[in-house]
Structure 1
Amino acid sequence: MPRDDPDYIESVSKAFQVIEAFSAEHPALTISEASALTGLTRPTVRRILLTLVRLGFASPAENKTFVLTPQMMRLGYAYLSSTPVWDHAMPYMRDLADSVRESVSLAVLDAPDIVYVARVPAARSMTITLTVGARLPAYPTSLGRVLLASLSPQALDEYLASTELRRLTPTTICDPDELREELARVRKQGFAIIDGEREEGVRSAAVPVHDHQGRPIMALNVSANAARVTVQSLEEEVVPQLLRTAETISSHSRFSRHHTASG
């Protein structure tokens, strides 16, 4: 963002840089560590962290580190509570989960990741545990493939140029050209199926959820243990139910009005 932009507040940008430096890999940070991760000076990071402490969003911890507090969740909750589609979608997601007896999730793209915004876990146990707000890389997930397939050519070029496609399992697509081909296929057929590309033994299928103008803005998926569900059954039995559920969510009048106002 250009610094001469009159609508750009650099101090706010720096504060969010510090907040985003905290992660599962870095749950607690010293001033020096946060400075190294963000590229900001130590005095700047210190002022930001102390401001977050005074506001209740951070707290001092052991060994001169800082941690974020549960109050930080208010920021995410403000987004979720201001968007009624989550509450509207849940009954249909529960019906789908009951029908297929597997986990059902709704996610949005926040490149390079997807972010889970609603989830109905299966009654059966699985090897992965995901909750609302969880993030996964987009390229090896069915939810991500559907959303990446909806990007403009320029946006997809930018994503591929800035994202490291790491091999997470033996079947992960990590060649940019191969991923482009797969996304073109997803775009044409209207759904994505993943077979153990992010985690071995987990298969999933996803379809887009559209706004009132037909733009894919979210993705809905079903995840299952590969020992229980074949790729063929995902495509022939689960995908049709996913498409019907996504269409129901997409066509709801409150959903359309909300995104007309916000998008």
Structure 2
Amino acid sequence: MRTILIVEDDILEQDFLKDIIKEEVSKSDAIITCNNGPSAIEAAKEHRPDFIFMDIWLPKLDGIKALTAIREFCPNAAVIILSAYSDFSFAQEAIRLQVKDYLLKPIRPIEIRQTFQSVYLNSAASTSHFPQVLAPNIPIPKTSIHMDVIEKSVQYIQQNFKQKLSLKAVSDHVYMNPQYLSRIFKKEMGISCIEYINRLKIEYACKLLVTTDKSICQISSLCGFSEQSYFNRVFIHQMNTTPKLFRQKNGRTGSFEFLPTDL
């Protein structure tokens, strides 16, 4: 029996991960879930998981700090980091904490399956008493036109989300009709193109609010919003609080307390 710990504060994404992992493990394996840093530490102490899916942005204690604490008593757990923001400092910490993979949100089901299968099977191969219950991890060729378009779109968004970025700008980059791109993006990624852009913008805004003294107006501009009022509306929608209150609550401690609403 193996134990998988999923640490994700968004209930929809937590259920999404759990449903996928259920399909990849044996019936004797246990899947444990929690939604914040402190509860992740307590769950890890109690269940000593073999595999951990750890979101970085968590309430009360961020994923990196939670994982640092967990490593003290679960040094051999195979960890997969989940993040909506590609930050080199996080990648450095992930390397230090010996994580197996670092997946950027939104994550396609195939990415989760392939990553988990690889980690799961490697663990099986190194543990003689553990039965290998999965089929071999067969790479899926990326020849689909849709997949190619989505990958190019995501890459473009990640490189340019700090600018004023529209669906049309993304669709022009991949030479596709905006409405058609919107449909296939939602289908393949599980989130709309605009929601994905705004999620990256707001997570970057949260980082700036906590780590800098820049004004909210400046941060709004740095995140690619032309109007602070729109920035405030998007921020409240995602974080369930205002930028000002978020900064007051978190200060410049480096500890991020996120309370995002479902997108």
Name the TM-score class by shorter chain.
under 0.3
Report which of the two has the higher share of helix. 2
TM-score of the aligned structures, taking structure 1 as reference length: 0.26
TM-score of the aligned structures, taking structure 2 as reference length: 0.26
Mark the structure with the bigger radius of gyration.
Answer: 1
